[in-house]
A and B are shown apart, each in its own frame.
Chain A
Amino acid sequence: MRNDPTSQQGGSFYQRDRSWHPPAFTPDYKTSVLRSPKYALLSLGNTVSEMTGPVFGHDMLGPLDNDLIRNHAQTGDPIGPRIIVHGRVLDEDARPVRGALLEFWQANAGGRYRHKKESYLAAIDPNFGGCGRTITDDEGRYWFRTIKPGPYPWPNGVNDWRPAHIHFSVFGHAFAQRLITQMYFEGDPMIWQCPIVMGIPSREAVEQLVAALDRENTLPMDTMAYKFDIVLRGRRSTLFENRMEGN
């Protein structure tokens, strides 16, 4: 069993469709120019080193980890539009990914990050830290509460601004699924002017990162809602192998 090759191929992941992702070299996003490998990636596929991954339990979460309105509050609530972000983490076969750790970080309502390297003039909000995390439930669902981040200028072109966005880091069931991405907001015209977003080759793929305003899930007089589903790589079925092994 220990070195039985057939027992290890089941559950390997579908090849990543790299034409759907931004390529490494996107010269309009200037920092990518010297940070993009020039050689082709070596196709490795999955070994046990890629098909395994760390486990994060719900018990590591604090009660305010998914509440960015309260988890850094000092003197009151942060300034800005209150929103709920919710959705599901699914795999490419639309199966829920349960137990996925999501980490998120963002600027405050003025577009300012709480970071020593940030040079934007917009004010720091004393009540807003800008980080949170949660773990998906058995149906792959997650939610968190935060302040809608503002757009911000960044040193790339002479006058480039990022659309409002929330950064997401996702751990699925295996290291092969590891993903960092960003969520944008429905209706924001700045999405289509951003060199980072436009590194994604197709409009359809960009739209996968745009969260929908979800009026059905707003809390009246309290909090707006956006729905954002995340898709991780899917895995091959083990059915065929089991059949070969006669079970």
Chain B
Amino acid sequence: MVQPLRRLKESPSQTAGPYVHIGATPNFADIAGVFPHDLGSQPLDAAVKGERIVVTGRVFDGSGTPVKDALIEIWQADAEGLYPGQGEKRGEADPHFPGWFRQPVDGATGVYRFETIKPGSAPYFDGRPMAPHITFWIVARGINIGLHTRLYFGDEDEANAADPVLARIEHRVRVPTLIAERSEENGQSVYTFDIRLQGENETVFFDI
């Protein structure tokens, strides 16, 4: 016998279910007056540095049907590539930028929409720069454990080509599932990022 490590096990995940909105976005779910606003839905502070962008898209299931009850969280660096919140050892991020947002998809159309800034580049664990990206976390009824993926920007070809994470995708045909195409809306950059849970062009999801 050897000495036991005595580590605990992580609590098993369970689906967020169809009523995740009651807990995460109660005002969206017509439960008014409990919380002043839905956490993660706050508008971007005018003092935040960086280029304003819109990130939008839909989540599709394996039949190609839009998922209408998903909840999406995004987590990203500031315009300089520094993360707000905790765990950032490289410096102080923009104090006005929360880095984290949360939105339900629209119950009728399945469309989600975030108004944020374009993040800067942050380093991979070996120090090489990663291309600007936004981390996505998707939960919904029928998803037993939250899915992690990343949005990369369609107008960052050079940085994307050098990105050490994208470079690890063996099946190169799948790389475009992580690239959001840029368009313009009233002079503002809009990036469309559709997430396909299964089937043709299934999005690359990460074990992080």
Q: Is the CB of A180 within 8 A of B133?
A: no
**Are A11's CB and B87's CB within 8 A?**
yes
* B126-149 CB contacts (< 8 Å) to partner A: 126-127, 130, 133, 135, 137, 139-148
Considering the complex, give the chain B residue whose CB is closest to the CB of A199: B144
Residue of B nearest to A60 (CB): B39
The answer to whether B191 has its CB under 8 Å from any CB of chain A is no
A196 in contact with B146 given A43-B207, A53-B75, A231-B9 (CB within 8 Å): no
Contact A8 B89 (CB under 8 A): yes
What interface size band does chain A fall in? 35 or more
A8 contact set on B, CB distance < 8 A: 89, 123, 125, 127
* Bound Cα distance from A62 to B22, whole angstroms: 17
Give residues 6-61 of A contacting B (CB, 8 Å): 7-9, 11-12, 14-18, 20-24, 26, 29-39, 41-56, 60
* Interface assignment of B122: CB less than 8 Å from any CB of chain A: yes
**Is A224's CB within 8 Å of the partner chain B?**
no
- Measured between C-beta atoms, what is the minimum distance from B147 to chain A in Å? 7
Contacts A199-B144, A205-B9 given; indicate if A114 touches B22 (C-beta within 8 A). Answer: yes
Interface: A209 (CB within 8 A): yes
Given A53-B87, A130-B22, A167-B20; A116-B30 close (CB under 8 Å): yes
Q: Are B7 and A39 in contact (CB under 8 A)?
A: no
B90 touches A2 (CB 8 A): yes
Q: Which residues of B contact A15 (CB under 8 A)?
A: 207
B87:A52 contact, CB within 8 angstroms: yes
Known contacts: A49-B130, A51-B87. The answer to whether A21 contacts B202 by CB under 8 A is no
Residues from chain A with a CB closer than 8 A to the CB of B76 are: 49
- Chain A nearest CB from B148 CB (Å) reads 8
The distance in angstroms between the C-alpha atoms of A88 and B77, with both chains bound, is 30
Q: Which residues of B contact A43 (CB under 8 A)?
A: 206-207
| CB–CB B7/A93 < 8 A | yes
Count of chain B residues with Cβ under 8 Å from any Cβ of A? 85
Query: Given known contacts A21-B145, A29-B144, A44-B207, is B9 in contact with A34 (CB within 8 Å)?
Result: no
Measured in the bound complex, the distance between the Cα atoms of B30 and A113 in whole Å is: 12
Instruction: Name the one of A11, A29, A54, A92 contacting B100, with C-beta atoms under 8 angstroms.
Output: A54
B33 pairs with A72, CB closer than 8 A: yes
A42's contact among B77, B144, B169, by CB below 8 Å, is which?
B169
Given contacts A34-B198, A54-B99, A129-B31, whether A90 and B208 have CB atoms under 8 Å apart is: no
Among the 9-residue stretches A78-86, A140-148, A169-177, A212-220, the one with 4 or more Cβ atoms under 8 Å from chain B is A169-177
> Which of chain A's residues has its CB closest to B196's CB?
A37
Q: What residues of chain A lie closer than 8 Å to B15, measured between beta carbons?
A: 29, 32, 180, 196
B11 in complex: contacting residue of A24, A62, A113, A181, CB < 8 Å: A181
Majority SS of interface residues in chain A? loop
State whether the Cβ of B84 lies closer than 8 Å to any Cβ in chain A. yes
Kindly state whether residue B34 has any CB partner on chain A within 8 Å.
yes
Tell whether A42 pairs with B145 under 8 Å between CB atoms, given A1-B90, A48-B123, A208-B9: no
A7 — which chain B residues lie within 8 A by C-beta?
89
Residue A110 lies at the interface, judged by CB distance under 8 Å to chain B? no
Q: Given the interface contacts A47-B122, A231-B10, does A180 sit within 8 Å of B146 by beta carbon? A: yes
**In the complex, A104 has a CB within 8 A of chain B:** yes
Q: From A41, which residue of chain B is reached at the shortest CB distance?
A: B207
Enumerate 6 A-B pairs (CB-CB under 8 Å) in ascending A order.
A24-B145, A41-B205, A49-B76, A54-B85, A65-B35, A71-B34
**16 more A-B contacts (CB under 8 A) besides A105-B22, A173-B87?**
A16-B10, A35-B141, A36-B198, A46-B125, A48-B87, A52-B87, A56-B39, A93-B8, A103-B23, A129-B26, A131-B31, A174-B87, A180-B14, A206-B12, A231-B10, A231-B11
